[in-house]
Chains A and B, each alone.
Chain A
């Protein structure tokens, strides 16, 4: 019995080796593409580009962890160890400076930059640079928009055709006794929110992001920082975010928005395909989708253009890769506008290339595509510093839960805390 099992195991292992191409004759260079989990869109593009390469290379995808912070941990450790398999990487923009500063990323060739960034939306392009030069190639760009229930906005008498402010949204939710969809958990989503609030108020969380750890100056102790703290604290203290606010990230706030108490929510576009899928699966009413509207991110100050959050994925090439040229060749293929369109339609991740939005299939599948494009134009990246992890975690620890935020003290305590951490004087 045991013997039989052993032989079966050996045979299986041997045939797996043969099937996976360890056999002779195949000398095509294999490019490894470290992808963040999605609905199979990146793997599909990898196949297309492998076919387009016509035997010059083969792209093989490898899955990273689902959590952005965990992706960063794995990539940074591999890059620091000069792993030669880091051919192409799907990178979250905030982590790019940390990887670019020590030279872990191979420089982007001039003509690749030329070909891939001609029509890139401003926000996405800014997120791909470090110290003024392009270090990654923008692939898809993400931004948050304001989702609302038409019925609630109507009852509250809000004119959603014009930009709205946080004060208006807070008042509407309060008057209608509904919950606001914001992200109050101690997680990256908290920094995303605070950054958008501060940027929309005209400030910056980090004033000089390119400085060294000792020289970084924070901009939270400003009018914009105080205003941001007021918004977060009002929503937290008045219970407007619902009982789950302190542990609520993007997905939880979407679930709340879909429920009876949903009113307004700031969130990424994944909400749209996810809600439609739930309707299709029968767990949500069709009338819900008809009740959902969208607008630009709320303004912090009336009349001052909001600066919505920016996310997405850029492609980087590892400096230690043995196929840098081929990798950039593959990157050029991956980020082609038609691939970005396909990726948006199948996986719900918006293009970074502005021309991609003119594709009719996008308008059909994502009626809010124009809002997304405009939001991306206005968007502001999170602080682009090699110490982003410290800054972000410092903000999360001081601003979550929202009910604990005090506009008079929180900006200062956060600043002192982060500065001390960056100087190596205390733990994070």
Chain B
């Protein structure tokens, strides 16, 4: 998230075209004094465990055999990267990420429009109602979805038996695709409010004069949306996508509760959990965690690069 801030200060410097004034320099110093302690604490609680994990990942280390710990270099990474299981889990994770983020973006945008346009008197109520799923603890919502679809206790098979393919004998959690659909539906239900809230903030920033001017010029609703509102919201959309993509990529709770990774539904964070916590293979598990971390970094990097492009595009007044 540092990128947009950097570009803005950079731009400002370019605009003023002079060396920082005394006042700005002291302001910046004050800023460091204020933010510094928090920054140091953050480094301690995030950087230290990350480095520890990187270090551990170079060992063959099993918690229940502390005496057999041995340095094996990058062998753990070799085992993981040549194992089809890792790639399958990476595929499942990416699939969940892409589908949920896309669906959430569309739904979230629709909800944001509803919230934006809702009558003043209703706005508070609508916002609260939309936010309810986001307020529920993920594990609780995962259980709710699990029991709804479970073949023994669920009501879904009963209620929706008029849909072709759904009937009393459909065991949702016995097949990869049906389980994944329930897992993704639950994710989408739960986090669409978050994305819609971010988009609502973006929507509120689009100046009314622009849309009104477009309307006066005879632009249709779709044209206004495409040419005025969306380009002006690009930054908000990218923030929403980045946040959700990072979140979705680290999905754990829903899979853990509903299938525990059975029948091809395992995701990367669950693999890391099962290896370090379940098998107590600290070395191998740390290596998976490090790879997961690298994946997240890559997503971040790609998104922030896109982000910059978009910002520049918006500036160029397309």
A interface with B by C-beta (< 8 Å)? 69, 73, 76-77, 80, 98-99, 101-102, 104, 185-187, 243-247, 252, 255-256, 386, 389-390, 393, 400-401, 424-428
Contacts and interface: CB of A to CB of B under 8 A. Distances in A.
B279 A390 contact: yes
A390 B275 CA distance: 10
Contacts of A255: 152
Interface stretch (B77-85, B218-226, B294-302): B77-85
A322 B119 CA distance: 67
13 contacts: A73-B277, A80-B63, A80-B66, A98-B64, A186-B260, A186-B262, A243-B151, A247-B151, A247-B173, A389-B279, A389-B280, A424-B284, A428-B275
Contacts of A386: 64-65
A427 B83 contact: yes
A53 to B, nearest CB: 32
A184 to B, nearest CB: 9
Given A76-B63, A255-B152, A401-B174, A246 B275 contact: no
Contacts of A244: 151-152, 171, 174
B152 A185 contact: no
B80 A427 contact: yes
A284 B90 CA distance: 46
Contact of A426 (B63, B64, B85, B171): B85
A243 B157 CA distance: 12
Contacts of B79: 424-427
B234 interface: no
Interface centre among A69, A401, A424 (most CB of B within 10 A): A424
B275 A243 contact: no
Given A73-B280, A76-B63, 10 more contacts: A186-B263, A244-B151, A244-B171, A244-B174, A245-B174, A246-B171, A389-B279, A401-B174, A427-B288, A428-B274
Contacts of B260: 186-187
A99 B151 contact: no
A256 B260 CA distance: 22
B65 A102 contact: yes
A428 B83 CA distance: 10
B271 interface: yes
B152 A102 contact: no
Interface centre among B60, B86, B173, B279 (most CB of A within 10 A): B279
A186 B60 CA distance: 28
Interface string B275-288: 10111100010001
B292 interface: no
B161 interface: no
B273 to A, nearest CB: 10
A252 B274 CA distance: 24
A178 to B, nearest CB: 15
B64 A76 contact: yes
A375 to B, nearest CB: 27
Contacts of B279: 389-390, 393, 428
A101 B280 CA distance: 15
Contacts of A390: 279
A167 B291 CA distance: 49
B169 interface: yes
A386 B281 CA distance: 13
Contacts of B65: 101-102, 386
B64 to A, nearest CB: 5
Nearest to B271: A427
A400 B262 contact: yes
Nearest to B76: A424
A241 to B, nearest CB: 11
A6 to B, nearest CB: 25
A228 B213 CA distance: 77
Interface in B46-103: 60, 63-67, 79-80, 83, 85-86
Contact of A427 (B86, B150, B263): B86
A256 B64 CA distance: 39
B284 to A, nearest CB: 7
A390 B279 CA distance: 7
Interface centre among A104, A186, A427 (most CB of B within 10 A): A427
A102 B69 CA distance: 13
Nearest to B274: A428
B284 A80 contact: no
Contacts of B284: 424, 427
Contacts of B169: 243
Contacts of B152: 244, 252, 255-256
B170 interface: yes
A387 to B, nearest CB: 9
Contacts of B274: 428
Nearest to B261: A186
A394 B66 CA distance: 23
B258 to A, nearest CB: 10
B37 to A, nearest CB: 25
Contact of B63 (A77, A243, A401): A77
Contact of A185 (B85, B168, B262, B271): B262
A69 B65 CA distance: 18
A69 B86 contact: no
B63 A247 contact: no
A10 to B, nearest CB: 26
List the 3 closest A-B pairs by CB distance, nearest first: A246-B174, A243-B169, A186-B262
A122 B84 CA distance: 43
Contacts of A104: 64
A102 B64 contact: yes
A14 to B, nearest CB: 30
Contacts of A69: 278
A405 B96 CA distance: 28
A381 to B, nearest CB: 19
A386 B65 CA distance: 10
A386 B263 CA distance: 26
A361 to B, nearest CB: 34
A188 to B, nearest CB: 11
Contacts of A187: 260
B182 to A, nearest CB: 12
A261 to B, nearest CB: 12
B263 A401 contact: yes
A32 B60 CA distance: 33
A401 B173 CA distance: 11
A247 B151 CA distance: 9
Nearest to B273: A73
A427 B275 contact: yes
Given A73-B278, A252-B152, A246 B263 contact: yes
Contact of A247 (B64, B66, B174): B174
